[in-house]
Amino acid sequence: MIETHDLTKTYKNITAVNHLNLNIPQGVIFGFIGPNGAGKTTTIKMISTLLEPTYGDAIVNGFSVTKEPDAVKSQIGYMPDFFGVYDDMKVWEYLDFFAAAYKIEKQRRIGIIDDVLVLTDLESKREDMVDNLSRGMKQRLCLAKTLVHDPKVLLLDEPASGLDPRARIEMRELLKELKRMGKTILISSHILSELEDFVDTIGIIERGTLLASGNVKSILQQIRANRRFVITVSDQVETAHLLLRDLPEVQHIEREGNTLVVEVHDSPDGDDPDLLKILVLNDIRVIAFHEEETDLEDIFMTITQGVVA
Ligand SMILES: Nc1ncnc2c1ncn2[C@@H]1O[C@H](COP(=O)(O)OP(=O)(O)OP(=O)(O)O)[C@@H](O)[C@H]1O
Ligand SMILES: [Mg+2]
């Protein structure tokens, strides 16, 4: 649904986006992650046809951003990272303005505005002035605006930035609803935990270069050489240490009191190592056993290590 082919943008002496290749299938939520200045906004603007690539191309639902920008525009809803100022406009007028810009007839606009207000939970604000809305409401209104022409593809640049926890959750629920509606969504963020539980795949960008992409699990496997297990025994910690140390897959053991942190070489087939089995077979009483979780935050830090100065 969204593909980029060596998409590149150079400003004078900065390459903001460097031969970026993305492939986001239909109905997928793709989390585009990277630190400040990584090139997220520049990429999203090129896919939205607002910025011309220096090199390469992006294809949205079969249309090229460089050759068929108008066709691309009809396919996408773009939510910028910055909400402009709209003096003296009511919420419904704001939406009507954008619907009119998409050449939707007046008759149909009324129903569409109702629908997007319901979807974004802003029905009660219909007659309010845009400038008087809270930040969270403005953000939802901005998303409502991107939906008036029922685009298949949504390009959302940090839609949850500056929102409080409740507003973030509301935004997340709204995005899940849009996914249920079958939209293909590219969403950027530098806050990883924000995306972790609902994106299907992620891409990590740093200094214009895609460092890794795929589903969260496969990225984990790509970068994770070792897995760490935390094991607490009730006694015989010394024996446990010796038993585990002799296993071929065990790389390293740290000991603290009755707890052992065992670092294990990840097997290519992803099988769990036999740590627990060995201990139990030797009558060692294990009171706690768990694998240390690696989350998106860890992935990000690992991947950008050495790249970020
Ligand atoms: N109009 C411009 N002229 C010159 N350089 C620019 C311009 N726009 C962006 N850049 C540079 O391109 C790089 C990428 O910027 P971009 O805004 O795409 O990053 P970002 O990932 O969206 O960052 P953030 O998380 O801060 O929003 C940065 O080094 C930035 O300084
Ligand atoms: Mg940005």
Using pLDDT thresholds of 50, 70 and 90, give the confidence band for residue 292. confident
Matching residue, tokens 């942190």: 261
Q: What does the pLDDT average to over 69-87? A: 87
Q: What does the pLDDT average to over 128-141? A: 90
* 48 pLDDT more than 70: yes
* 166 pLDDT more than 90: no
Atom of ligand 1 at shortest range from CA of 208: 14
Which residue's CA is the nearest one to ligand 1's atom 7? 11
Which residue's CA is the nearest one to ligand 1's atom 24? 36
Q: What does the pLDDT average to over 151-168? A: 89
Locate all alpha helices (DSSP H) within the chain, ordered by sequence.
40-47, 69-75, 91-101, 106-119, 135-147, 165-180, 192-196, 216-223, 237-245, 275-281, 296-304
Lowest model confidence (mean pLDDT) among 29-38, 145-154, 193-202: 193-202
According to CATH, the superfamily of the domain at 2-221 is: P-loop containing nucleotide triphosphate hydrolases (3.40.50.300)
- Mean pLDDT value across the chain: 89
Handedness of CA 136, 74, 123, 197 (dihedral sign): negative
Instruction: Report the alpha-carbon distance of residue 81 to residue 117 in Å, rounded.
Output: 21
Q: What pLDDT shows up at residue 296?
A: 63
* 307 pLDDT more than 70: no
DSSP tag of 84: -
Q: What does the pLDDT average to over 4-22? A: 96
Q: Classify domain 225-293 by CATH number.
A: 3.30.70.100
Q: Which amino acid is present at 297? A: E
* 306 pLDDT more than 60: no
Whether 17 is in the pocket of ligand 1, judged by its Cβ within 6 Å, is no
Atom of ligand 1 at shortest range from CA of 38: 21
* 300 pLDDT more than 60: yes
Whether 190 is in the pocket of ligand 1, judged by its Cβ within 6 Å, is yes
Where are the domain boundaries for CATH 3.30.70.100 in the chain? 225-293
* 308 pLDDT more than 60: no
Whether 39 is in the pocket of ligand 1, judged by its Cβ within 6 Å, is yes
Whether 109 is in the pocket of ligand 1, judged by its Cβ within 6 Å, is no
Structure tokens that stand for 226 in this block: 């070792």
Q: What does the pLDDT average to over 239-254? A: 92
Where are the domain boundaries for CATH 3.40.50.300 in the chain? 2-221
Q: What pLDDT shows up at residue 258?
A: 95
- 258 neighbors 235 (Cβ within 8 angstroms): yes
pTM beyond cutoff 0.85: no
Whether 91 is in the pocket of ligand 1, judged by its Cβ within 6 Å, is no
The CA 126 to ligand 2 mean position distance, Å, reads: 30
Atom of ligand 1 at shortest range from CA of 205: 21
Whether 40 is in the pocket of ligand 1, judged by its Cβ within 6 Å, is yes
Which residue's CA is the nearest one to ligand 1's atom 26? 36
Q: Which amino acid is present at 194? A: E
Percent of the chain with pLDDT over 90: 64
Q: What pLDDT shows up at residue 171?
A: 84
228 vs 4, which has greater pLDDT? Answer: 4
List pLDDT tens digits, range 182-206: 999 999 987 766 777 788 899 989 8
